[in-house]
Structure 1
């Protein structure tokens, strides 16, 4: 088991990373603005699933291989960047008004977007390779300790996204209308593209 003090220290270490705007928050803004609070759940579930994927890879040692191999790390980074840029361009295109037909997006699609945005982010994997080792001890089974820290991480990011959901839902009610939603979608697409470009040049 991980000592509660170690869990608290880990959460304090990852909080600034969670608070930094990234793909998960950008997707949340897009989908909550477009479809209301119910769209927040698949975004949060996709993000949390991605965290557990990284935790599982860390346990298996696969993430270590990616981080130690320059070619593997660059490949993952470029795939993730291409996904974010492609998602941003697609979001921009679908922001145009579509008369006579309302755009609906399935929960599975939103979940998949959030999952891929997290899994293809090598910085998310780095959390479990740089921060996690500082809060575990070899005297106890590592899988259980990493799972505990990943669960705490998942709860914290869920709370963060929930707080943003409440703020966004209130703002959306105050600014109803297709023009606001179109502007929000295009702003979201610009952020996604910027995140992808940053990942390439970083």
Structure 2
């Protein structure tokens, strides 16, 4: 098990990583705006699941594999960039349109988008490799390894769920929907820029 001091340090760095604005925040905003707090939370929890895949895999050594086989990382990065560009195009087309409540209620699109935004970003594995290397050693037990990975998952899901619930509050959501076209266009631009940055 990690000491309290070690865990607080780990949690702090994970929180800073989660709070950094980017495509994940844009997706939570998009689904909260077009659906509800529930849709935003579904996006957040699915995103945390994608983070969890990388966190667990990094603990098991995936980041080393990505370093050893650059073509694998390149393939994932390309898929991630194309997915972001596709989302940007769809978001731009929806700018100014009425909120699409049907898919959001079903939960399929928010969950899919939230998961893929995290899963198609191999830099997450490299981030965790750099972070976890400070806390994991060869003699660390399974419980401690699970604790490290679970910390990243819980903080990520908790942060983006909080963002969705905050954005969905009456006055905030009403203001976002009044400027829905601008919000959607800004979101599309952010996604497209991040797609280029990820590939570069």
What TM-score does the superposition give when structure 1 sets the normalisation length?
A: 0.86
Q: Which residue of 2 aligns with 1:151?
A: 150
| Cα deviations by residue, 1:107-131 (Å, 9 ceiling, x for unpaired) | 0221011101101111211122111
Which residue number in structure 1 is paired with residue 138 of structure 2? 138
> C-alpha deviations, 1:109-167, integer Å up to 9, x for none?
210111011011112111221111211233332x4323212221222223322332243
Structure 1 position 25, deviation (Å) = 0.8
Task: After TM superposition, give the deviation of residue 103 of structure 1 in Å.
Answer: 5.3
The answer to whether residue 180 in structure 2 is matched with residue 181 in structure 1 is: yes
Q: In the TM superposition, what whole-angstrom CA distance separates every residue of 1:24-47 from its partner, at most 9, and x where no partner exists?
A: 111011111121211122111111
* Paired residues of 2:18 and 2:156 also in contact (CA < 8 A): yes
1:44-99 CA distances to partner (integer Å, 9 max, x unpaired)?
1111111221123224433321133322222221211111111111221233536x
| Helix, strand or coil at the partner of 1:104 | helix
Q: Is the 8 A contact 1:55 1:147 kept in 2?
A: no
On the 8 A contact 1:63/1:129 being kept in 2, the answer is yes
**Residue matched to 1:94:** 94
C-alpha separation between the residues in 1 aligned to 2:91 and 2:199? 20
Task: Classify the secondary structure of the residue corresponding to 1:134.
Answer: coil
Q: Hey, what's the Cα distance between the residues in 1 that align with 2:145 and 2:7?
A: 10
The aligned residue for residue 129 of structure 2 is 129
Instruction: Specify every segment of 5 or more residues in structure 1 that has no aligned partner in the other structure, as ranges.
Output: none
Which aligned pairs between 1:97-108 and structure 2 lie closer than 5 A?
97=97, 104-105=102-103, 106-108=106-108
Give the Cα separation in 2 of the matches to 1:7 and 1:134: 11
For structure 1, which segment, 102-111 or 73-82, has the greater mean C-alpha deviation from structure 2 after superposition? 102-111
Structure-2-length-normalised TM-score:
0.86
Q: Which residue of 1 aligns with 2:22?
A: 22
C-alpha separation in 2, matches of 1:56 and 1:95: 37
